Amino acid sequence: MEKTQEIAKKEEKNIEKTHGLYEAIPAVDIYENEDEILLYADMPGVVKNDISVNIDNGTLSVSGIRKLVTKGAATDTEFTDVEYARSFSVPQAIDIERVEAELKNGVLRLHLPKSEASKPRQVEIKTS
């Protein structure tokens, strides 16, 4: 009987604490075309009001917090609040005034339009 109590005490010491705000790096896909850079960030469960997108000195920072609403007393929890955060260097060619963001099904989609000066252009050849 004493060994059983001793084993139970050892197991209690190894219980993983699962409460608190975890930090996670969202999975991101980046695409580029002639007009813009598109960035898709996977942040499941995050709502629009809990997302922040900032561009400062050539750095794009994306963050969001998933807050869980629970009902009743938890007996065991592994799914908890998460803070997603990621930063990227962005080229100076981005027109910051025209950047747009949209959230759909837990995926943040950023449109980073290129400035007109940075877009490739065809030079017309004149003949005399």
Cα distances from 105 to residues 43, 92, 126, in angstroms, run: 9, 30, 52
Residue 53 located in a structural domain:
yes
Residue 67 lies inside a defined structural domain of this protein = yes
Among 116, 77, 78, CA closest to 95: 116
pLDDT higher than 70, residue 8? no
The whole-model pTM stands at 0.72
- pLDDT at position 4 is 45
- Its domain, for residue 48, covers 20-117
pLDDT of residue 9: 44
In a domain, 112, yes or no: yes
As for how many domains the chain has, the answer is 1
Please report whether residue 8 resides in a domain: no
Domain contains 87: yes
| pLDDT above 70 as % of the chain | 82
Contact 109, 39 (CB under 8 A): yes
- Which residue, chain included where needed, has tokens 């490739």? 120
In a domain, 7, yes or no: no
Q: Give the CATH number of the domain where residue 46 resides.
A: 2.60.40.790
Q: Is residue 69 part of a domain?
A: yes
Chain centroid to Cα 89, Å, comes to 15
